[in-house]
Structure 1
Amino acid sequence: MNIDLENMSLKELRDLQKAVGRQIDGFEAKKKEKAMAAAQQAAEEHGFSLKDLLGGGKSVKSTVAPKYTNPEDASSTWTGRGRQPLWVKGHLDAGGNLDDLLIK
């Protein structure tokens, strides 16, 4: 198939570009559907659903052990990730060091 791109107007070229984009997206979607069907069939041949093998969509959150503790209240801890608690900021503002708060 030969398309004479040189003699097409800008509008025709843009319309062609959109049409090609839609075809590419449709092609990729069909390939993905075929791959998903093949994966589902392979899983079923082994007695599983694809959802079983992929974890059922549940995300498992891991917990991080606390690394720092408030010297004035041992029940207040911080992992060292995310925003610093006020007691950590207060300690640092007072000239303290994070190492002072390490859980031993």
Structure 2
Amino acid sequence: MSIDLTPLNLRELNTLIRTAQERHKALTSRPPAEKVRRKLIADAKRAGYTIDEVFGLDADQAQPKTKASRRRKGPKVKPKYRDPENRWNTWTGRGKMPLWLASKMRFGHNPTDFLIPGVAKLTPKEKVLTGKRKLFKQG
């Protein structure tokens, strides 16, 4: 392993040396892992436990779990559009448009033709305010 030290100045080199010496001291002063393992097994046996009872069955493989990003689940949404030819083809109006509706639109239909009566209303598109200037009176 080679580390390029040429871009470091004297202060940075001294800091690196000091940090490396502290790490070396910490690694050499601690007892070997096998010795610690034997001591833990003996202490557990003296207390009347097995090492598996103390640390669990997979103590060697247990690692701290990272927090998984949690995605908030929203409420279930009722379908807004339905195919009159196949009643199982529905769409809530969220996400990517389904293939059955996209193919109908290619043949000249409008999505409003497939709205479920009594359940769905057209949602007006919100006005985008990005890039529009507002004037404020000063005074």
Q: Greater CA radius of gyration, 1 or 2?
A: 2
Structure having the higher strand fraction is: 1
Structure having the higher helix fraction is: 1
